[in-house]
Amino acid sequence: MSEPPWLNPVEADVWAKYRRLRRELHRAQEQQLLRDSGLSAADYALLAPLSEAPEGLLRAKDLGAEVDWERSRLSHQISRMEKRGLVAREACAEDARGSMVRLTPAGRKAIEEAAPRHAATVRRLFFDPFTDQEVRLFGEFLDRVLTQVDAEAADPS
């Protein structure tokens, strides 16, 4: 079996820029959330899907799948958020081993207050550098990469 080809200089440069973008964008969002709302990016990551769920309620395992976190990370983050009154754990009626996570009124208030400034930050840092046509094209590029990643995940051979 032959060795896979190395990235050429242009590909290596683009890959390095993408990795830096992910890191710096996450850092900027984390700082904005903490500064403007006192929420961490982890808080926001859980509050957002809960705020969109019917009755602000999701099974813990579904919430974990939504954010792609391991069970222990999810459990620790939920515990921290429970102590601050942002969420509450409840027993799962369908599965005694499972648990539900409910957005509390304080959690809903926190996400509703944080979301507009967070959206403004995303727009300013991620979308404003592009024209509308470039945003649509970028979306098409991302769809192609995601299709490739999904195909690889479905058949890793």
pLDDT in tens, the chain (157 residues): 678 899 999 999 999 999 999 999 999 999 999 999 999 999 999 999 999 999 999 999 999 999 999 999 999 999 999 999 999 999 887 776 779 999 999 999 999 999 999 999 999 999 999 999 999 999 999 999 999 999 988 887 7
> What pLDDT is stored for residue 1 in this prediction?
63
Residue 11, CA distances (Å) to 16, 58, 126, 148, 156 in order = 8, 41, 21, 17, 23
Q: Name the DSSP class of 28.
A: H
> What pLDDT is stored for residue 106 in this prediction?
97
Backbone angles phi, psi at 100, to 5 degrees: -110, 155
Prediction pTM value: 0.86
